Structure 1
């Protein structure tokens, strides 16, 4: 009876294995270029500070000498050096031997960092904020430099990575003597194909949970799954701030280009307005030169009194704009996501209109604050070193997967070399449920799978040359 049961189960098990392999294969062909791109650009972003130090060197350092000048004196020096520019942001020196930074927007629209010696209030140089390896890598990482289309392609690839992970774990997990022989082993003396297989399977299997966390935290920035579905759940409700009128400006508009300076869960939340002496509604994205009643010195003093250490200070953007103090791991200000804090201050009265901390986040926002910090390697040097290892490992997984496909392709034929369709007994319920769940949870994956199935049924199965090529 047992032998008959095993005999009957063998064709079904083989069919399930080849079905999983086939999905894994096709998902991998699409995902590999994106995984290589995301890992490579991720490495560049991990070393942003080191790259900036190497590029600008002495421009970023000063000789510590006595007391620092007041922020207002440093601001006056910037206004004097760039009379036609609009100063939009102040970033205090992080250490005693580094410069202060003021973000300025020139009439041409170009944005620069004006570097100021905090001890002498001397402007020592400028850095073009758009001429940044980090920003270039971040733009490629998020949009492939082609805007929303690139965002959708990357989101689709990231969604397919979930399918790749699930099918990969199924293929990796030992089921018989052959698969157990290579489980958690790298066989270097059994030929290049087995070496590639072991490296690919064991790296992918062992790091599957890590890759899943990278994918989910990365998808939080994607336009559909992140912006339309998950981010609204985690957004801080504006009505929980003090009873201050809301502007038409959201926190996302306070970011500088692709640099994520505002916390993820605040991006869709409107910014409050200054309501003592304001004149009309604010105009989004319009920088204005005007004198607020509350000075930069008062705001900096307030920041120190309430516990801010490293932070960014955004100046009011209009007559009804606010001062915004922000310190969060996503922006690289601090290393502990539980210390995230964003404060809005009325530019006329100095009243705190909103003071949002990690404790105010809902469970989704807290999870994402921690997840994004880990994703970016912001927590510690160990976190950064591990992320470097993970990026290199993901590159190795991608390359070995591609090499294995190339090696097993039929020589001299026009076939893609996909795993064959193997007939089995019955319908694979678990596999179908898993695929449907992924499609429902990740809309672009669902649309892509539906499109693939339709194209397969309408074209590939009916055009003999294409049927053979994809067999």
Structure 2
């Protein structure tokens, strides 16, 4: 004698004795295929761009330490008895490189580190960059000169990796790759979270599951835990992008959240105005 398995229909009591909420399945059923396809195709679209961004970002994070090794001859010197006055170090740098003008001086930050004399307007150097002349603070000897970019003192290697991460060395068109990835990352992550919660009622324990079902369960669990980080990466990436970043800047200006600018020509201040 055979016994036919019971077929559970929407609205029938569940195993725990509670019926499905009225309309719960009917409201989600037509939306699930749309969200599923959006999640899948958006993920396929941005996956290569995310891989490139993650790889170049990892390289940039490691470039700080690699830079110290590659440019050790310029950055490090034997520790001496006492350091020369900064004025003498600047004079030594100017004797070796009289071109351009002194833009800033970064004294030796620790024992055995060189002093950087930054020159702007040097022929052959990018106008947005400076020429960093490295001076031994103990002897006044110039150990080398390298092009520097940014307030973090990025030397050629780190600058090259930074530009690779930012625009793949393709200029303005290259910046669109990161904007595309950041713009769709939150859509992919959000769609995955919605799908995970939608399937939660129908899911079973992952233990004992095999094959595709187990893979999907692991994918959903890992994705939900990573969703907060993905949303954060998407938001921060958009602020640095070309078009969305410009909109963020305009929004900050509209609400008065821009960085204050010092007006050196202001006459206010009374007797301490100077």
TM category, shorter: 0.7 to 0.9
Partner of 2:173: 149
Q: Distance in 1 between matches of 2:87 and 2:213?
A: 66
Q: Return the alpha-carbon distance in structure 1 between the equivalents of residues 213 and 115 of structure 2.
A: 55
Please name the residue that 1:46 is paired with.
Answer: 61
Contact 1:112 1:127 (8 Å CA) reproduced? yes
1:216 is aligned, of 224, 235, 240, to 235
Equivalent residue for 2:134? 115
The match for 1:69 among 84, 108, 111 is 84
Contact kept in structure 1, 2:186 and 2:230, CA below 8 Å: no
- For 1:203 and 1:101, locate their aligned partners in 2 and report how far apart those are by CA, in whole Å: 46
Return the alpha-carbon distance in structure 1 between the equivalents of residues 20 and 125 of structure 2.
73
CA distance in structure 1 between the partners assigned to 2:98 and 2:223 by the alignment: 56
Paired with 1:147 and 1:7, the residues of 2 have a C-alpha distance of 55
Match of 2:103 in 1: 88
Q: How many residues align?
A: 242
- Asked whether 1:132 is paired with 2:156, we answer yes
Q: Which moved more, 1:126-135 or 1:53-62?
A: 126-135
Relative distance call for 1:14 and 1:136 in structure 2 (3 A) is farther
Distance 1:224 1:90 in 2: 36
Instruction: Measure how far apart 1:30 and its partner are.
Output: 1.9
**Offset at 1:174?**
6.2
Name the TM-score, length of structure 2 as normaliser. 0.74
Tell me what 1:237 maps to. 260
Shift, 1:82, TM fit: 0.9
Distance 1:81 1:169, change over 3 A: same
**Residue 5 of structure 2 corresponds to which residue in structure 1?**
none
Structure 2, unaligned runs of 5 or more: 1-9, 13-18, 150-154
Cα RMSD between the aligned structures? 3.2
Highest Rg: 1 or 2? 2
Task: Tell me what 1:283 maps to.
Answer: none
Structure 1: 5+ residue stretches without partners? 246-274, 276-350, 354-471
Paired residues for 1:257-406 under 5 Å: none
Contact 2:125 2:131 in 1 (8 A): no
